[in-house]
Structure 1
Amino acid sequence: MGRIPIGPIIEGGKKAGKIIKENHKEITAFISLLSAGGKVIKENTVKKKESNKTEEKLPHRKVRYNQYKKILMELDSQNRNELFQYILEVEQFIQQIKNEENKELGVKKPIHKNRIKNWNDILIQIKDKMNAKDYLEFIKIYNNPNYHSEYFKGFERVVEKFKKLNNREKYDDLLKYIAEITNRSIEQIKKDFSLTD
């Protein structure tokens, strides 16, 4: 084996030592920062793995149910299309539970009834929000025929029919149409739209 010259290694070690000695505070802070960053990354990775395992264990409907509890807080910012999609999905889940209830033994009936009740509670809130938002948009369109509703995007025919009925001399058909879509009483609609005789 050949000899390795030790002189350059010693010189390099002295230079490194001098740099470390002169920049001790910065190097210590940098190492602490790297250590803390590594710790945070490790903690986040562990938390993410744990939450993924928890969600993987939960059935899809249960995951969606938990998501819907959060969605209910954000219904004001949703348009009609989004609300309608939520209604369809929740109705589908309710039907799935009813189908499961019919297939399984009577022992699980209370569990299924409770699930149906929970999903119905969500469905009612979404439908009520959609009815309220529909009603408010109709009032805006009624008061300003040039008003463009972003809320009704994808449901332009609903607005077209409303405008068509609004251009007639008699308001009976308009009142029935609004009542049908929003589940409001005709008396309330007359009052809110200033259509009293």
Structure 2
Amino acid sequence: MPKIPVKEIFKAVAPKVAKAAKDGTGDFIKKNPKVVIDGWNSIAKARKERFEKKQNHLQRQHSKYQNEILPKLDSYSYIQLTSYKREVESYIKQISQEEEQLVIGKHLHSKRSKSKSWKQILIHIEDKIKNRNYEEFLKAYNSPSYESNYLDAKVINDMRNIENKNELYKYIHRYTEGNMKDIERDFF
């Protein structure tokens, strides 16, 4: 069976264009309609299978985040949490790009793991990072012997080595995005 380029198949959909084709496409389509239809169906089937494969992966990942990762956010290190955050951001980006590319994308995406649901997961992870960072800084600030399993020792040591209070507040704010008044109150 001869291979037909996708452009040629699209010409088959528009009969006027196919009739006007001077390169023999119109004749091929007229003589071999079953081949053209089978080719079109094969392309449609391959696209559907590829989409379903992605769909299933994202659904599995969504379930993993909902059932395994979110309930145990307290047990992960800063590096693990930021890794999860980046992964969720990439899923959100992938979903939005696919929605733009697919003609019926919004309908299909509403059946699969929803972008809104992924954004909720992202918010949970970001909040956990900010809160946990604040807690760890506070523990390290109040106890010189405290060693964090969550934050890298270099981050804690850098904080401890800052002598200027305003610089300390900025440093903590960079990691926690906390309210400056709260930071100034807690790290006096």
The verdict on a shared fold, with TM-score over 0.5 as the criterion, is yes
Larger radius of gyration: 1
Where does residue 169 of structure 2 map in the other structure?
175
Instruction: Give the aligned residue type for 2:150.
Output: Y
Where does residue 141 of structure 1 map in the other structure?
140
SS of alignment partner, residue 59 of structure 1: helix
| Alpha-carbon distance, 1:183 to partner | 1.4
Structure 1 stretches of 4+ moved >6 Å: none
TM-score, normalization by structure 1: 0.61
How far apart are the structure 1 equivalents of 2:63 and 2:184? 40
Where does residue 59 of structure 1 map in the other structure?
56
Where does residue 25 of structure 1 map in the other structure?
none
Where does residue 104 of structure 1 map in the other structure?
102
SS of alignment partner, residue 151 of structure 1: coil
How far apart are the structure 1 equivalents of 2:155 and 2:108? 39
SS of alignment partner, residue 130 of structure 1: helix
Identity of aligned residues (%): 35
Cα deviation 1:115-144 (Å, max 9, x = unaligned):
221101000001101111110000011011
How far apart are the structure 2 equivalents of 1:184 and 1:145? 22
Q: How does 1:23-172 map to 2 (within 5 A)?
A: 59-70=56-67, 71-105=69-103, 107-109=104-106, 112=109, 115-152=114-151, 155-165=152-162, 168=163, 170-172=164-166
8 Å Cα contact 2:173-2:179 kept in structure 1: yes
8 Å Cα contact 1:131-1:181 kept in structure 2: yes
* Equivalent residues, number: 133
8 Å Cα contact 1:98-1:112 kept in structure 2: no
C-alpha RMSD of matched pairs (Å):
2.2
Instruction: Give the aligned residue type for 1:135.
Output: Y
Cα deviation 1:35-64 (Å, max 9, x = unaligned):
xxxxxxxxxxxxxxxxxxxxx996111101
TM-score, normalization by structure 2: 0.64
SS of alignment partner, residue 173 of structure 1: helix
